[in-house]
Structure 1
């Protein structure tokens, strides 16, 4: 083998090594570029989603602002329409999804951003039932015995038996037919007891008149206590709705 041949053989491995290193380096650069592109794509998807969520929140707030906040049924209908098409986080390349911190935060936002609206919807459903109950209780407690028998002594029991007692029985039964909100069985019992008190006392009054005995009764204390309890409950319900609405801010 000549000296020239030996020299060529010595340099061939070096050249091959250099070429391989260059190829590997180029592949690493390409891989880094692809990785960067995929992360950038995931970042853009995350940024677009976060922007859409901000717009969505503003739109919902404006829609709810058009509705009377004390009317839970109307408010819930407006809420249902406003959140019907929430923004969605767009897909992104797998590597970008895996490595993008922005995309990870956007995923967490997607998981939680509807929760305040869901909570408000639940509160409004409860408020609808509660305020129907409250109005029924208030209607029943607005009854006055004097509207049926007038003021002063009664000469006979006819008005008591034919007007007063039936009116309060009907009020009691109508109220009893209304759905009782969860946890308010005792309050419902207080209202019914106040109405039943009038029925019982009026029945005794009618019998006393027929027997020519003196008898009178009062129901102001029972009605007043029941009405205070109903009003307190209504205040609590409205406060819960207000708190849920404010949580959207």
Structure 2
């Protein structure tokens, strides 16, 4: 091979080698840039998860402080929903290829879903107040005596004319109120207590027709209904409180809010005399 040919050959080989080095360098640079992008996305994910943990703890504390008032707790939840943090930006390649970033990006929706659960529980508790008020009115210890009047009666007709229709109206008004979930037993016992009074008013009228006095007590029946109401209220309050705690700890709200195994505190029936007794002669 001539000297000229050797020079050309070496020149070509040199260009090929240089081109190969350039391509390799470019590939390495691109690869490193991609790794940097992924690392940046990973850092954004870590920062966001730390921010979310703080957000959950802070908002749970704020909501918990308002649990004694239905309207206030709903306002606190609404404010939390408006303040849900979003994950920070990252390079496009990093966003598309970072598993940590993809997982963290789903957390924002999870927070919103959890707050929806809290809101639903709080709304259920607020909605139950109408029923709770209806029970309180229906189980007013003074109503049977006021409807019966002072007497004495020569027959049972006054009882049939005013007392029985009055108590029936109390029962009908109560039973027209929607029963919230979890309050079924309280509703049944309240209706049963009112029916107990109605049955005994009918017996009172019959006894008066026969010239005999008649008396009955309804403390046990009213007390049982009030206790069931208190237990239902406590269960509902415990469910919301547990859900708020779970939200702060980033635990499953669905499980905590539907947990029926928690023990209820003993409720106390409403005030009044040790025994409510109606006597008529």
**TM superposition score normalised by structure 2:** 0.73
**Aligned pairs (5 A) from 1:152-191:** 154-156=152-154, 157=156, 160-161=159-160, 164-182=163-181, 184-191=183-190
Match of 1:201 in 2: 200
CA RMSD of aligned residues (A): 2.9
Cα distance, 1:202 vs structure 2: 1.1
- Partner of residue 70, structure 2: 72
Deviations 1:11-50 (A, max 9, x none): 1342122112221122113202421342244234324433
Q: Distance in 2 between matches of 1:53 and 1:74?
A: 23
Structure 2 partner of 1:244: 243
1:123 is aligned, of 121, 124, 136, to: 121
Corresponding residue for 2:224?
A: 225
What is the CA-CA distance between 1:241 and the residue it aligns to? 1.7
Stretch moving more, 118-127 or 207-216: 207-216
- CA separation of 1:168/1:77 partners in 2, compared to 1, >3 Å: closer, same or farther? farther
Unaligned residue ranges in structure 2 (runs of 5+): 249-281
Query: What is the alpha-carbon distance in structure 1 between the residues aligned to residue 57 and residue 224 of structure 2?
Result: 44
Residue 93 (1) aligns with residue 94 (2): no
CA deviations over 1:103-132 (Å, ceiling 9, x no partner): 134124234233432222222222223343
Render the CA deviation track for 1:132-177: whole Å, top value 9, x for unaligned: 32332233223333344467x7334576456533442332122112
* 1:220 Cα deviation from its structure 2 partner: 2.7
User: What TM-score does the superposition give when structure 1 sets the normalisation length?
Assistant: 0.81
SS of residue in 2 equivalent to 1:217: strand
Aligned twin of 2:132: 134
Matches of 2:103 and 2:22, distance apart in 1: 37
Contact 1:148–1:159, Cα closer than 8 Å, also in 2 = no
Summarize the Cα distance change of 1:186–1:242 in structure 2 as closer, same or farther, 3 Å threshold. same
Q: State the distance in 2 between where 1:125 and 1:229 align.
A: 21
Q: Which residue of 2 aligns with 1:110?
A: 108
Q: 2:141 matched to which residue of 1?
A: 143
Tell me what 1:31 maps to: 30
Contact 2:132 2:229 in 1 (8 A): yes
For residue 219 of structure 1, report the CA deviation from its aligned partner. 2.4
Cross-structure match for 2:273:
none
Per the alignment, residue 60 of structure 2 pairs with 61
Q: Please report how far the alpha carbon of residue 71 of structure 1 lies from its aligned counterpart in structure 2 after TM superposition.
A: 2.8
Cα distance change on mapping 1:122 and 1:17 into 2, 3 Å? same
Alignment match, 2:80: 82
Q: Is the 8 A contact 1:40 1:96 kept in 2?
A: yes
Bigger drift between 231-240 and 109-118 goes to: 109-118
The structure that is helix-richer by fraction is 1
For residue 198 of structure 1, report the CA deviation from its aligned partner: 1.0
